[in-house]
């Protein structure tokens, strides 16, 4: 099958664009008064997913991680390009992959408007473009001493699934199914990101683990934070795990794609209302301090963290 036929068959769907797939470049019109928001994320076989992973899940997730970056900026995701290297043309794989990719794209109003297709070790690079009214984007740099620190949803589920896969811990089978959903079918928090415009002072999506990611906000904003372990949203499991497995997953586990954000305490009731409207838990997990550094208190006692902010595990 020629490259052109492959693109037409698997990667061409109606798009909100002036010119989409098929020309030398795509053409889009940005709404007046908006800034263009651009982000890229690459998913590499063996690094970001197992080579034999479900192709539908690979498609969903490679789009979802990009959409999540738009959510973290308070942006409306709009367009994406897909640059893909394929080791061979496997029709079943391509059909499932593109279905997962488009299911996620359509769920979040993203149009695929172009890309590049080449032969090579499986590698999926997506660039996503979104819009935000000028001045309303939520960056990492706005956190101020006294702000609350919040996180959406539940942390550590994907990491627990990975730990189970790698036989580092053993989950009940009902929990395996739920944690697997979090790992393979993450739900980018776009509605939350849009609603946080004007409420959050800083935000990002949790992809590398809460402490590592929050420390990016702290550095960009020139502040510190004190978190309360008891306030962190931990997965509720059928069978308890050793405490160290849970702290590691919740504080340092990657792939959550929840939003972590800071907001003035004056917005607490607005955020409680928002949580109900979105039917999405929002946990107030601590506060920003003028003094730099990141501390997590467990019943008032600082937990042992190493310099990078990761939990120090034995």
Closest CA to 148 of 19, 296, 289, 311: 289
Q: Rank residues 12 and 144 by Cβ distance to ligand ADP and give the closer one.
A: 12
Tell me the CB-side half-sphere exposure of residue 81, using CA atoms within 13 A.
19
Does position 59 bind ligand ADP by CB under 6 A? no
Give the Cα separation of 248 and 296 in Å (integer).
13
Compute the least distance from the CB of residue 117 to ligand ADP, in Å: 4
- E-assigned strands of 208-254? 224-228
Residue 188 contact among ligand ADP, Mg ion, none, beta carbon within 5 to 8 Å by kind: none
What letter does residue 203 receive in the DSSP assignment?
Answer: E
Compute the least distance from the CB of residue 3 to Mg ion, in Å: 8
Residue 183 is inside which H or E element, if any?
A: helix 173-184
**Which backbone phi and psi does 215 adopt, to 5 degrees?**
-65, -25
Residue 23 contact among Mg ion, ligand ADP, none, beta carbon within 5 to 8 Å by kind: ligand ADP
Q: Rank residues 2 and 240 by Cβ distance to ligand ADP and give the closer one.
A: 2
Stretch of 16-24, 101-109, 155-163, 165-173 contacting ligand ADP, by CB under 6 A = 16-24
Q: Which residue is nearest to Mg ion (CB)?
A: 116
Residue 84 contact among Mg ion, ligand ADP, none, beta carbon within 5 to 8 Å by kind: ligand ADP
**Cβ contact 136:280 at 8 Å:** no
Does position 116 bind Mg ion by CB under 5 A? yes
**Cβ atoms within 10 A of the Cβ of 245, count?**
21
Question: Hey, is 65 helix, strand or coil?
Answer: helix
Interface characters, 76-115, with ligand ADP (x: CB under 6 A)? ------x-x---------------------------x-xx
Exactly one of 116, 146, 273, 302 binds ligand ADP (CB under 6 A); that residue is 116
Closest CA to 34 of 197, 188, 186: 197
Residues at the contact surface with Mg ion, assessed by CB under 5 A: 116
Residues at the contact surface with ligand ADP, assessed by CB under 6 A: 7, 11, 21-24, 82, 84, 112, 114-117
């Amino acid at each position: 099958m020629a490259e052109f036929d492959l693109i037409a068959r698997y990667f061409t769907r109606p798009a909100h664009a002036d010119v989409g797939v098929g020309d030398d470049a795509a053409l889009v019109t940005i709404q007046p008064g908006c800034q263009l928001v651009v982000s890229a994320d690459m998913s590499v076989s063996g690094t970001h997913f197992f080579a034999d992973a479900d192709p539908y899940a690979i498609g969903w997730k490679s789009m979802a991680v990009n959409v999540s970056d738009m959510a973290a900026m308070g942006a409306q995701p709009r367009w994406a390009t897909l640059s893909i290297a394929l080791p061979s043309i496997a029709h079943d794989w391509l059909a499932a992959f593109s279905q997962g990719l488009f299911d996620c794209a359509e769920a979040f109003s993203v149009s695929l408007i172009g890309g590049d297709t080449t032969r090579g070790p499986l590698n999926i690079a997506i660039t996503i473009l979104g819009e935000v009214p000028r001045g309303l984007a939520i960056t990492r740099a706005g956190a101020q001493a006294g702000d609350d620190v919040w996180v959406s949803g539940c942390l550590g589920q994907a990491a627990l699934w990975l730990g189970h896969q790698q036989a580092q811990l053993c989950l009940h089978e009902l929990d395996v199914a739920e944690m697997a959903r979090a790992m393979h079918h993450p739900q980018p928090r776009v509605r939350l990101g849009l609603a946080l415009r004007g409420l959050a002072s800083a935000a990002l999506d949790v992809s590398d683990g809460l402490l590592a990611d929050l420390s990016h906000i702290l550095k960009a904003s020139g502040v510190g934070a004190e978190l309360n372990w008891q306030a962190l949203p931990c997965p509720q499991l059928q069978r308890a795990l050793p405490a160290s497995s849970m702290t590691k997953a919740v504080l340092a586990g990657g792939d959550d794609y929840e939003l972590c954000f800071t907001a003035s305490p004056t917005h607490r009731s607005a955020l409680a209302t928002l949580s109900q409207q979105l039917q999405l838990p929002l946990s107030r997990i601590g506060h920003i301090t003028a003094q730099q550094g990141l501390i997590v208190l467990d019943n008032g006692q600082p937990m042992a963290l190493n310099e990078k902010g990761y939990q120090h595990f034995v």
